[in-house]
Amino acid sequence: MSVRIKINLYGLKFGDLFQFVDAARASGIEPSREVSVLEDDDRYERGPAALEFEVDPAAYNTFAEPLTFNQSRELATVIDQVLAAGGDARTLTTELRQWRDTLLGVSRWASNGGGG
């Protein structure tokens, strides 16, 4: 059984598009895979109406969600602090542990009833 994830193009916001792309990344879809474009069968106009991809739910659950732009900057700040301390990360153990869990998707799996 597969799951279809679809986004309508009418009234599409960048945030919606970012979430669609993040879901595709989290599902492990290869970047070279073509996006399915669904056509609008309106009698007056014909054209693209939605984008869609299909994924095996089991594969989707094995991938951590991609970082947002802000999360990437926060992680870079923590890395910069470690580098500024000459590689000594002992004062940032808590932050590093949280980032490890975020990158591995531990908190998301735990909230979905899965293991970490």
Residue 110: predicted pLDDT: 41
Q: Are 32 and 24 in contact (CB under 8 A)?
A: no
pLDDT tens-place string over residues 8-41: 888 888 988 888 887 888 777 888 988 888 887 7
* pLDDT mean over 56-72: 72
pTM of the shown model: 0.51
Considering only CA atoms, which of 58, 63, 64, 94 is closest in space to residue 78? Answer: 94
